[in-house]
Structure 1
Amino acid sequence: MAAQVAIAVNRKAEQVYPSIQDNLCHLHSFIKKSCVHRWLHYLCGAKNNIYASERLAILMNLRDFYREHQSRIELNHCNQLAEICQYLCDWKLLITVAQQGLVLQPNNVQLRCYLMQACWHLGDHQGAIALATRYVLDAPVQNIFYDYYQRISAWQRFSKVKKFTPSSLLQGKHIYLQPLGHQHVNDFAWQYADPRIAALCCLPLYQGGNQWHEWLAEDMEDSRRATYAVMHPEWGFIGIACLIRYRELGLFYYWLGEDFQGHGFGPDAVEMLLDHDFAYKDMKVCYAKVYEYNIPSIKAITKMGFIPLSVTAKFPFDQELFFYKGTVTDEDYLQQGFIDLMDFLGIDIQIINSKKITTLSGE
């Protein structure tokens, strides 16, 4: 099942037939000028069968192919390459390919759309708006250009109203953040394919794009939540970081796609969000919930300065550990803050500590 058809992308760990990546390597090993078209034709036809676990390796293979054969890429090759890049959400390569194709055919509508889309997805909203404006003026009969202009402009207006953290504060050394939007649906699908992500983060398994868009619409309307796409300068969207606020309290979660875990990107993303809210938005304490068997996440938040909270919970939350970070050290305040936050979020959790048992449901 293709990532762009449904969020539940291919999850199979083993495949009966040779993988797309194996076939690409075989074709790439004897590629000549006469069979560039053959290689691209094969990949275009096979893209719907690409597994999420193969995606990064295929993108690397695709970039190697482009570097080796860029000088003899023709317009029809650019169109095929752009189609593949768009499907696999390789926005950086798509920009390069679309620009090369537009040199060969400046008025190519599809390549122009690909270029606007790629800039928008990578967070270059001003660049995307500038392109859309130029294309509307150049070809006013092409409604699709005006449609892009309206969509990107609407997204910019929403971002200002939502009052996300300023983009200048979301530029890290190895990653950057941008508000999660409906345009990210396919990026999200590729990275969310690992079922462990939903299980460890207590998130839903979306059955299709419509369900995901409904979830995001609710998330965007919630003034308590600020959800960001974690972006890699080379590979684009790699995961999510979310900060939920209630009064002077916060709760965060993040997840990264399987190919990008274990490199410190998640903690970098969260620290950018927390630093801003601690400094400028009156947050005193931020909490985190982690399953006791999720050792990598426990190590990560410990390195970020989070301290274990001296509470435990009854079933079904008895396998979760709770942490906090902030300027407050009073134990009673920290425990009561956590209880208040869970209650506010509608999480019916029974907290146990050495002093008392608090039942949020009022029983």
Structure 2
Amino acid sequence: MYFKRFIGERIYLSPLNVEDYLKYAEWINDLEVSIALFEMKTPITAQGERQIIEDLSKENVFAIVVNEIDKLVGNIGLHNINWISRNAELGILIGDKFYWGQGYGKEAIELILDYAFNMLNLHSVYLKVYGYNTNAIKCYEKVGFKYAGRLREAIEVAGERYDVIYMDILRDEFESVYVKSIVEKKKKGLKP
């Protein structure tokens, strides 16, 4: 069961449902999905994934659910929140490969950034991404993330070395991107 906590055009963010652990275990054990994740390089059991979901459900992590059909497609969250410096790390997983490359990740990021900046009063949100994950990098750039640095040749995958790229977005940068998006939607006669 899902609850519409933050609602977008095509998706909504819901508190995690621990009973989805089998779906997450399926995604995490799919190398095509897990190759982009920082912490998931080894196979995981269903019970191990259940514990992870239980732990994440106590944090600022949400299920990404398709509006029309209430279908789980991934999750997104804010980790390592520093309440003094007012920043957090973004993590996202679109586990259902059918929904890759269609803007669902971008919409989920916009929803979580709205939450981060306008409800949690954070100043910045950052993320890490592997250099070979060019589709994710393009998505982050579309939302407004900027390059903040890189660890050169920090990881090895299949005998090749890749950079770990750091990106971030400040509150005022997001607001300008978000406001621009609302104006464009209104011009097209869509709901913001």
Q: TM-score range by the shorter chain?
A: 0.7 to 0.9
Aligned equivalents of 1:216 and 1:238: distance in 2? 15
In the alignment, does 2:166 pair up with 1:322?
yes
Aligned equivalents of 2:54 and 2:143: distance in 1? 31
Relative to structure 1, is the Cα distance of residues 228 and 200 closer, same or farther in structure 2, using a 3 angstrom cutoff? same
Deviation at 1:288, TM superposition (A): 1.3
Q: Which has the larger radius of gyration?
A: 1
Q: Secondary structure at the match of 1:293?
A: coil
Matches within 5 A, 1:62-81: none
Aligned length, in residue pairs? 161
Q: Which amino acid aligns with 1:171?
A: I
Candidates 2, 5, 9, aligned match of 1:173: 9
Q: Deviations over 1:29-52 (max 9, x none)?
A: xxxxxxxxxxxxxxxxxxxxxxxx
Tell me, which stretches of 5 or more residues in structure 2 are unaligned?
156-161, 174-192
TM-score with structure 1 length normalisation?
0.41
Candidates 238, 246, 267, aligned match of 2:73: 238
Q: Deviations over 1:140-174 (max 9, x none)?
A: xxxxxxxxxxxxxxxxxxxxxxxxxx81xx11101
Candidates 42, 45, 48, aligned match of 1:211: 48
Deviation at 1:201, TM superposition (A): 1.3
Candidates 98, 120, 129, aligned match of 1:290: 129
Candidates 50, 61, 66, aligned match of 1:227: 61
Higher strand content, 1 or 2: 2
Deviation at 1:181, TM superposition (A): 2.5
Deviation at 1:316, TM superposition (A): 3.2
Q: Secondary structure at the match of 1:319?
A: strand
Q: Secondary structure at the match of 2:36?
A: helix
Q: Percent identity?
A: 19
Higher helix content, 1 or 2: 1
Aligned equivalents of 1:290 and 1:262: distance in 2? 16
Q: Is the 8 A contact 1:175 1:269 kept in 2?
A: yes
Relative to structure 1, is the Cα distance of residues 203 and 271 closer, same or farther in structure 2, using a 3 angstrom cutoff? same
Structure 1 counterpart of 2:34: 198
Aligned equivalents of 2:13 and 2:171: distance in 1? 25
Q: Which amino acid aligns with 1:280?
A: M
Aligned equivalents of 1:325 and 1:260: distance in 2? 24
Aligned equivalents of 1:288 and 1:266: distance in 2? 14
Relative to structure 1, is the Cα distance of residues 328 and 174 closer, same or farther in structure 2, using a 3 angstrom cutoff? closer
Q: Is the 8 A contact 1:229 1:239 kept in 2?
A: yes
Aligned equivalents of 1:243 and 1:226: distance in 2? 5
Structure 2 counterpart of 1:66: none
Matches within 5 A, 1:95-134: 120=1, 123=2
Q: Deviations over 1:164-213 (max 9, x none)?
A: xx81xx11101111111311113324444531322211132453221112
**RCO greater where, 1 or 2, for CA within 8 Å and sep 6 or more?**
2
Aligned equivalents of 2:137 and 2:163: distance in 1? 13
RMSD: 2.3
Q: Which amino acid aligns with 2:13?
A: L
Q: Secondary structure at the match of 1:324?
A: strand
Structure 1 counterpart of 2:141: 302
